[in-house]
Structure 1
Amino acid sequence: MALPSQADDKVYHLKLAETWGANTPLLGDTTKRLAYLAKTLSNGRLHIRIDSSNKHKAPFGVFDMVRAGQYDIGHSASYYWKGKLPNSLYFTTMPFGMTAPEQYGWFYYGDGQSLMNEVYEPFGIYSFPGGNTGVQMGGWFQKEINSLADVQGLKIRIPGFAGEIWAKLGAKPVNIAPGDLYTSLERRTIDAVEWIGPSLDIQMGFHKIAPFYYTGWHEPASELQFLVNKKAFARLPADLQQILTTAMRVVAYDMYIHFQHESAVNWANMKREYPAIQVKSFPKDVINAMQAANSALLAAHAEKDPLAKRIQHSQASYMAKARAWTEIADQAYLNSMSE
């Protein structure tokens, strides 16, 4: 697609607020890449200033700051806003849902982007895919989970729909800003913490105080988001609008590949350097209860909200088609390699 012709030589400045602390690996790299690419592709006409959470002091306030025009762009995760915008949680990832390639297909060539636009439109905000972590691990636990009884009263940091599922099982989920996760676990304010995966978890040090590392079920394709204030976007000439949206798409994909690489490298290092870490999968009765709770919660959300019902239907129908191909392509290939 040809870019629109350059409208003027004016330099445009945008401010970006991110949920992450300064120089957070991978997550923070993505916003830096966005700023670099926007400036380079625009021949210096589009500058993006990045304010990390240690500067703006509101890691979970990014939505409100972009909505109010305090910032032009935000980088965060859509499910952080479920308290004020319940349908936002569908655009990060869903338990037992699509993998990253499947979900990207839904966003870019299915109904995903248009449904996300519909959810955010009343708030004067555009939302775009902002980079994927791939499958996330199930979390670090101070005690082994052997049955549903071990879940009762468990204090776990976990956001999004998965937090609602843990609550259904009798746990006590909370959301804590990234910078406070280690301290909360160390001080036993929480019993377990879900963050991302080996790409970032090891350097957080969770393995020093929680030796049980559980495999994932809850976030198979964790997509971050770029929030863009509509008025700020409208002030840009057409060519810079195209450059910004293209740059966001490029860096989102690059983050996915970067996470894939770092997870592979750090998984190998973890197995070699920290053999005491016990990698576990949740018992079958816990997984079965999670799936049952997931189905019940989806039905309850759909019954209360017609838009939620439409989003759920869109995701389920797209996943059915995409998963059939994933199984005959990726899964069959992996199965053949292990035979």
Structure 2
Amino acid sequence: MLKSLFRHTVLAVAFAAASSSAYAAEEVYKLKLAETWGPNFPIFGDSVKNMVKMAEEMSNGRLQIRVDSSNKHKAPFGVFDMVKTGQYDLGHSASYYYKGKVPNTLYFTTMPFGMTAMEQHAWFQYGGGQELMDEVYAPHNLMAFPGGNTGVQMGGWFKKEINSVDDLQNLKMRIPGFAGEVLAKLGATPVNIPAGELYTSLERNTIDALEWVGPSLDLRMGFHKIAPYYYMGWHEPATELMFIANTKKMEALPADLQAILKVAMRKAAYDMYVHSYAESAKNWEIMKSEFPDVQVKTFPAEVITAIKKANDEILLEKAAEDEQAAKIIKSQQDYLKLVRVWTDISEYGYLESVAE
């Protein structure tokens, strides 16, 4: 018995050593990743670091990824093009930043009045969302994958209170994506500004208001020192970042390394959602206790009604103008109609039933 056990142990160790030697003899693949964020950017940048670490560990060192932050490549909103052309192999950014280049990319980050994070993840993986994203990105020599969710975002920091639709007239606000188009329809002026310039832009009155994320990231940015009104969200109920890969570079990797990279991306995306949720809970408590002058507001019903009407009108326009957009919009709306029934019964129903 002991001899047999010893023999099997020796064989197992020998096999592991041989496997390790075989891996060591195999080629090491070095990739470059460009991220939209600055160096050591919390939560967003952490998800990239986690992905890189997991990919290297699971590949036994055969996958090594160098990360260049925006201070290195100097193009925070240029990640799409840099990966497309092969200047970088991988990227981490947000899909809706590139609607000016490829309009139908904006649907894969989040949509106003749309799905929550869990609903959206279900749509990506089991409701056809990933396939539609593949369809949009494939012509550009790109593969795109969910890259981490912030959950429900807050509606933004405002220097002045919003009491009516008229208060949106000529309001210059940092707000990207579809929501920016919605506010523009109501008379506001949406702009997109890199994270590192947000505080200064608000402080110098370059903008009148901004939305960034939520307590997970907003508090450390110091916006509450300048803009005292913090509004509840409507525009980004589930903001999903993205990992992108140059298709030719991805397909040149051995099949096992392609699989490892995809698994690392998915795990890092999940970890970012959990991290963001935890930080929001912690920072909300800090904000309420240490900065009681912050006034948390809900947009008046009149304003939300006008925003929703504008949102629906733009969706109809985009669906009428573009067959691919129509397909994506219909897929999202159909899935939301299906999944929201269960969300109401399960999540909302639970919270309502145990509320004091």
User: Using the alignment, how far apart are the partners of 2:24 and 2:320 within structure 1?
Assistant: 48
Structure 2: runs of 5 or more not aligned: 1-21
**CA deviation profile, 1:205-257 (whole Å, cap 9, x unmatched):** 00000000000000000000001001110111011000000000000001000
Q: What TM-score does the superposition give when structure 2 sets the normalisation length?
A: 0.93
Say whether the 8 Å CA contact 1:126–1:227 is kept in structure 2. yes
* Residue number in structure 2 paired with 1:326: 343
* Residue number in structure 1 paired with 2:131: 114
Aligned-pair Cα RMSD in Å: 1.1
Question: Alignment partner for residue 106 of structure 2, among 89, 96, 106?
Answer: 89
1:1-339 → structure 2 map (5 Å cutoff): 9-339=26-356
Over 2 Å off, 4+ runs:
5-8
User: Using the alignment, how far apart are the partners of 1:222 and 1:8 within structure 2?
Assistant: 42
User: Using the alignment, how far apart are the partners of 1:283 and 1:204 within structure 2?
Assistant: 26
Q: 1:70 is matched by which residue type in structure 2?
A: Q
Deviation at 1:8, TM superposition (A): 6.7
3-state DSSP class of the match of 1:245?
Answer: helix
User: Using the alignment, how far apart are the partners of 1:51 and 1:261 within structure 2?
Assistant: 27
3-state DSSP class of the match of 1:200?
Answer: helix
3-state DSSP class of the match of 1:199?
Answer: helix
| Max Rg structure | 2
Say whether the 8 Å CA contact 1:93–1:223 is kept in structure 2. yes
**CA deviation profile, 1:52-86 (whole Å, cap 9, x unmatched):** 00110000000000001000000000000001111
Say whether the 8 Å CA contact 1:6–1:239 is kept in structure 2. no
User: Using the alignment, how far apart are the partners of 1:150 and 1:114 within structure 2?
Assistant: 40
Identity %: 64
Say whether the 8 Å CA contact 1:142–1:192 is kept in structure 2. yes
Q: 2:231 is matched by which residue type in structure 1?
A: Y
**CA deviation profile, 1:255-314 (whole Å, cap 9, x unmatched):** 000000000000001000000000001111110010000000000000000010000111
User: Using the alignment, how far apart are the partners of 1:54 and 1:95 within structure 2?
Assistant: 31
Number of aligned residues: 335
Q: What TM-score does the superposition give when structure 1 sets the normalisation length?
A: 0.98
User: Using the alignment, how far apart are the partners of 1:129 and 1:7 within structure 2?
Assistant: 31
Q: 1:306 is matched by which residue type in structure 2?
A: E
